[in-house]
Structure 1
């Protein structure tokens, strides 16, 4: 576990991978990179192959039952996980995650949970995956970016870490920005515009910024942005829209119950 200059705990990502040179990669640039350099968060990349015990440093073998591809060995992964995160039940072990297409889909709620966890250990699989017994022995959570398959867990780990780091205190310059982004209110984000107010595109068509954004009326701008976020969410993500609508109805019911149970006016 890492500590900052003040002695306080620093959010730490420990990444177990066959390609440690992929880290920090893009995480070493822009806001995440500056925060890493300033000790706001810490990154430990661990080479799984260094835990292999044979002369060929083998980390995989053929699957029992036959089939194409190779499977990462349980003994090698167990040694890597134990050395990096400690055995299951170790105090301060944090969350241990295996990036897998069959896992819980990464969403903003999970990102917030992970941002509140001091240490997150990420196991990046390769080949056909890892021996199931390792997942059971170490109680690894499985997390997915979505319904598609990557060549390995490294790309998914980079995305997960990036999503978490930008929520850490001191990383984003404008603290209001995070609250306005997609998914924070259960909605997709509203459209953005900047100068020039009137822009002529490559086909010669003039395109203007909506008048309301030039009005200087902050309440009307907020209302417009909410309406646009609702419109876009309803059109593009019916699943999110239905959840948002259900949440609003539930809040309304709670409000009604609260009013009914309140004291009667004298």
Structure 2
């Protein structure tokens, strides 16, 4: 898979993408990454990418011309046109399901806004518009890194254990179960005995129930769409009632 980012700060990405899981996956060619400098598609001596908004208001807006030229130029390169992703509060909420959807794309171009946002006409170029949450970031670079990280984890060869990505929070609509490591007792707090039993069926059953309990406690909204048996849904409802008491 090939990721590309269009940004006024193209140097922003490499330090993160060269470390840890991302760095190892990149070295193994699980994914490629290229950052494009938006200023390369400007034509004035100051390489201006922003201007004041019509009608007045605070801050500056990214101009449409550099964005159109850059995205059209980048899209014309290579055999396959990229899937162009913009970030905006108006976009669909980003979640694990969207990450899984994007993991099947061959080439993704992440367009990183700055300042007060972009001229509205630039959004015509988007194949996808996503929102990372109900908050405001200084720029789209952090959002782009979140997308890259969450998608790369789903690619074959990215993680040492191929089951890791399938066993994490949100992969089945629930939060992940609680996990423990040595020592078995720490400051009087013991690891659940079933996890020390060696009984894999019992461990799996405990983890499933624990995942439902944790979801009922921290994210009950997820239970509305989680795939649960009738027995599990009844258990989830009891857990929510107990949590409210």
Q: Same fold by TM (over 0.5)?
A: yes
Residue 145 (structure 1) aligns with: 132
- Find the residue that maps to 1:244 and give its secondary structure: coil
1:63 corresponds to which of 53, 61, 72: 53
SS of the residue 2:186 aligns to: strand
Distance, in Å, in 2 between the alignment partners of 1:19 and 1:207 is 47
Aligned length: 231
Quote how far apart the aligned CAs of 1:244 are: 1.6
SS of match in other structure, 1:172: coil
> How big is the alpha-carbon RMSD for the aligned residues of Structure 1 and Structure 2?
1.8
Match of 2:170 in 1: 183
1:83 aligned residue? 73
Among residues 193, 197, 213, which one is paired with 2:195 in the alignment?
A: 213
The structure 1 residue matched to 2:37, chosen from 29, 44, 47, is 47
The residue number in structure 2 matching 1:258 is none
- Per the alignment, residue 169 of structure 1 pairs with 156
Residue in 2 aligned with 1:3?
A: none
- C-alpha distance in 2, partners of 1:69/1:231? 46
* Structure 2: gaps of 5 or more residues: 231-245
Partners of 1:100 and 1:142 within 8 A in 2: yes
Would you say the 8 A contact 2:86–2:126 is kept in 1? no
Separation in 2, partners of 1:40, 1:176: 17
Contact map agreement 1:17 1:123 (CA 8 A) in 2: yes
Deviation digits for residues 86-114 of structure 1 (CA, Å, limit 9, x no counterpart): 39xx9721310112222111111110111
Contact conserved, 1:14 with 1:84, CA < 8 A, in 2? no
1:16/1:123 contact within 8 Å kept? yes
Of 7, 11, 25, the residue aligned with 2:15 is: 25
**Is the 8 Å Cα contact of residues 69 and 127 (structure 1) preserved in structure 2?**
yes
In structure 2, C-alpha distance between the alignment counterparts of 1:36 and 1:65, rounded to whole Å: 45
**TM-score normalised according to structure 1 size:** 0.83
